[in-house]
Structure 1
């Protein structure tokens, strides 16, 4: 591992501002943050923030695989243990009780003490509880429920910790694409889980327990590069999004740079980059909760994730019950929507950054337009899947279009917490993901009850479409990314 640090002076923003033609505040702030990011150093020639994004993507892929693999495994498990749809719904939803419990806590701890070890602790926990899932299931139904709850507790810190890290390391002009990449790779985890789990679950020689053994082991292996390469805090802190160009210089997290090193971080500073900054402000809970944009995020996280979590757990069952798909083929068929969601979700991040910083499209148009298309498009094609689809081809097409369009929320809802204030991105994301997790508890369980009482998938998709429409109304009324929560020192 090779660490390189720049030998160039940290620029004087006051001088550069007077010599350069006037630019918009957002562009000036982005340029200032990019200069700070350039000084953060590299690992084997790769910028540290890029390594952070890559390992975050891989980690969240494994996290999603560990929560998604039971969507396939539940089919042979139900046959072995005699479970009905209501019991399956309880098994699916109990994960979200634990997941909800650590959202805000995970964001708070990551913002205050650093996201590196918070995410690593979560990875260790979710890997262990994935590994012991088969033993718990065969011991007692209650043991499986407890195991799934603790799996949720461990995974609950993941997204808040990652978003806390991205807020500290990435310039504003790179956040849309990085957030889109992180979210898209979570879909890749679902793809991996469905693709690998189906043939193993259908095999008489391997069997469903190996679905959990393999994915649990992969998480343990991933932890090694994460612990070795990632830092919680950059050596050069990014100027805040509210920086006034011409008034601030780039600042180190701890002590000023040594003039003898021409502005390069000292060894002490490189060490301190692994530690929290010395000066910390308390989380402004009242100001965050009084912000209408915060509540638009909370409501939309709940509404947006209703359909997503229902499909994440129940999609293979939908294909099998409605169209009679064989268990061995479920993996290949089930990954099609997530492949499209991954591709579209990854692309829209780059397109959004390009539109904002090259075409000068107002950020509010990007946030509101993308989220509106994501929710209304998903609502329409969910209804088509429930009321129109007559064969497996139509079912796959409609679900694929629903999830593909819904991935536009990667540059709407999913990045909105940075708009309020990136310093508290972990906390704000934790609040939003807590609301989202409620749908995992309510929506997934309600789906099981609907199927037990009526057997109607049309009602399942109608409920999802209803939530999407409510989300659009609230988003258009209260989402204002141009009104930041500015905190004065």
Structure 2
């Protein structure tokens, strides 16, 4: 690719990064705004829970369809449609809230529908437009926008609510930003094929010798017979159980277990995400250097996922030990510093998921990367809902034990997923050939 084309490719990746910043801004906005909204509308805790969960109903619904649509119509168009849909849902949320509670749930459902196609669509764009040697950097840059979006939302949403017109202003501003992004993407990247990766001469010759069918059936059976695919399923489930469980419950934990004020707990909640953003800056260059230095891509992925989950399990287990040995009335400043340091390290190591799990779908099949990500992310969306529900359930039946309800279950999943990921192999898989061979044997 020419230097100009290479520059255009990375500017497109920056646009993808911005889309994922917006993606998590529009998740976090409700987490912050729901406090004044509940006061304004007199919601019960059950109604607050329904509002928070409505997003995930839509999010889980479009994971596999999003992968299929991205494969059929192209990731660039599907991502554009997704951002427009979730921005529309965000923009109309204030009007829906004033109209009826059901209308508000529908608006959050629309946000989830739009955001549900984003991971698969972006994966399809990257699989088609980025060569394997640049995959770690491109995937890390793109999905790193999620961490920046969470951090930015937690920082900017409170002052917007306080000084720029109340809770409705958050939805108006974030929704408008989505439409601005859509105009940028449509004008500069959506129909531009100059950023697509070029086939090597060997790939061109192979395609000429064995031309691909216009419409290959999706090889679902071949996916589920592949050990690397199951490694991705386990890792994605655990990643969402960890990330969304802590996103939902961390402020409550800090307030009740560490006996800090709600305002201070909101500030402390930012620190782990700040650590994640900081670690993200070094993850991709390090992974690229390891691969350039002779480490196989398979071992780079295994190392990345091991650092992410094993490191996280150690840190969360240590937090559980400190919490169990320190009742709230005995908490000191040293206790708070120790726990926040452990959580920040655990979250920071989580950034290695970008060069592990989130590169894996493209490694084994650029052609079906979008569909596979949609499939694994469906299970991950279920994990998000389960982690939020079961943390509260376990907290109730254990008499308020944070170690048993939040930290140790996550650590358990992380250890198990690390062991499963040892099956991982980055070697590309011809799923169509496996499916065809299976049909021949059956016949």
Normalization by structure 2: what TM-score? Answer: 0.85
Distance 2:196 2:19 in 1: 24
Q: Secondary structure at the match of 1:66?
A: helix
Q: Which residue of 2 aligns with 1:438?
A: 382
Structure 1 residue 307 and structure 2 residue 275: aligned?
Answer: no
Distance 1:246 1:178 in 2: 24
Q: Which residue of 1 aligns with 2:304?
A: 370
Map 1:344-359; keep pairs closer than 5 Å.
344-357=279-292, 359=293
Q: Which residue of 1 aligns with 2:118?
A: 158
Structure 1 residue 409 and structure 2 residue 353: aligned?
Answer: yes
Q: If you compute each CA radius of gyration, which structure gives the higher value, 1 or 2?
A: 1
Q: Which residue of 2 aligns with 1:57?
A: 17
Map 1:13-412; keep pairs closer than 5 Å.
38=1, 42=5, 47-83=7-43, 87-201=47-161, 203=162, 206-231=165-190, 234-235=193-194, 238=197, 248=204, 279=214, 281-329=216-264, 331-357=266-292, 359-389=293-323, 390=331, 391-412=335-356
Could you list the per-position Cα deviations for residues 463-484 of structure 1 after superposition, in whole angstroms to 9, with x for gaps in the alignment? 22222122112212x3222363
Structure 2 residues not aligned, in runs of 5+:
324-330, 437-443
Kindly tell me: are residues 64 and 47 of structure 1, through their superposed partners in 2, closer, same or farther at Cα, counting changes over 3 Å?
same
Distance 1:384 1:93 in 2: 30
| Range with bigger deviation, 435-444 or 284-293 | 284-293
Distance 1:349 1:97 in 2: 33
Could you list the per-position Cα deviations for residues 86-128 of structure 1 after superposition, in whole angstroms to 9, with x for gaps in the alignment? 5544433331121111111111111111112211111111112
Kindly tell me: are residues 248 and 216 of structure 1, through their superposed partners in 2, closer, same or farther at Cα, counting changes over 3 Å?
closer
Distance apart, 1:66 and its partner CA: 0.3
Kindly tell me: are residues 246 and 156 of structure 1, through their superposed partners in 2, closer, same or farther at Cα, counting changes over 3 Å?
closer
Distance 1:394 1:147 in 2: 40
Quick check: 1:71–1:312 contact (8 Å CA) kept in 2?
A: no
| Range with bigger deviation, 107-116 or 80-89 | 80-89
Kindly tell me: are residues 247 and 437 of structure 1, through their superposed partners in 2, closer, same or farther at Cα, counting changes over 3 Å?
closer
Kindly tell me: are residues 395 and 77 of structure 1, through their superposed partners in 2, closer, same or farther at Cα, counting changes over 3 Å?
farther
Distance apart, 1:140 and its partner CA: 3.8
**Partner residue of 2:373 out of 429, 434, 448:** 429
Distance 2:165 2:88 in 1: 20
Distance apart, 1:379 and its partner CA: 1.8
Could you list the per-position Cα deviations for residues 365-405 of structure 1 after superposition, in whole angstroms to 9, with x for gaps in the alignment? 11112212211211222233344154443332222111111
RMSD of aligned Cα (Å): 2.9
| Range with bigger deviation, 340-349 or 74-83 | 74-83
Kindly tell me: are residues 198 and 382 of structure 1, through their superposed partners in 2, closer, same or farther at Cα, counting changes over 3 Å?
farther
Distance 1:138 1:451 in 2: 34
Quick check: 2:57–2:112 contact (8 Å CA) kept in 1?
A: yes
Distance apart, 1:445 and its partner CA: 2.3
Q: Secondary structure at the match of 1:423?
A: coil
Quick check: 1:198–1:328 contact (8 Å CA) kept in 2?
A: no
Distance apart, 1:414 and its partner CA: 1.2
Structure 1 residues not aligned, in runs of 5+:
1-37, 253-276
Quick check: 1:300–1:471 contact (8 Å CA) kept in 2?
A: yes
Quick check: 1:386–1:462 contact (8 Å CA) kept in 2?
A: yes
Normalization by structure 1: what TM-score? Answer: 0.78
Quick check: 1:304–1:467 contact (8 Å CA) kept in 2?
A: no
| Range with bigger deviation, 100-109 or 325-334 | 325-334
Distance 1:386 1:91 in 2: 30
Kindly tell me: are residues 70 and 449 of structure 1, through their superposed partners in 2, closer, same or farther at Cα, counting changes over 3 Å?
farther
Distance 1:130 1:248 in 2: 44
Q: Secondary structure at the match of 2:367?
A: helix
Kindly tell me: are residues 180 and 425 of structure 1, through their superposed partners in 2, closer, same or farther at Cα, counting changes over 3 Å?
same
**Partner residue of 1:472 out of 415, 418, 431:** 418
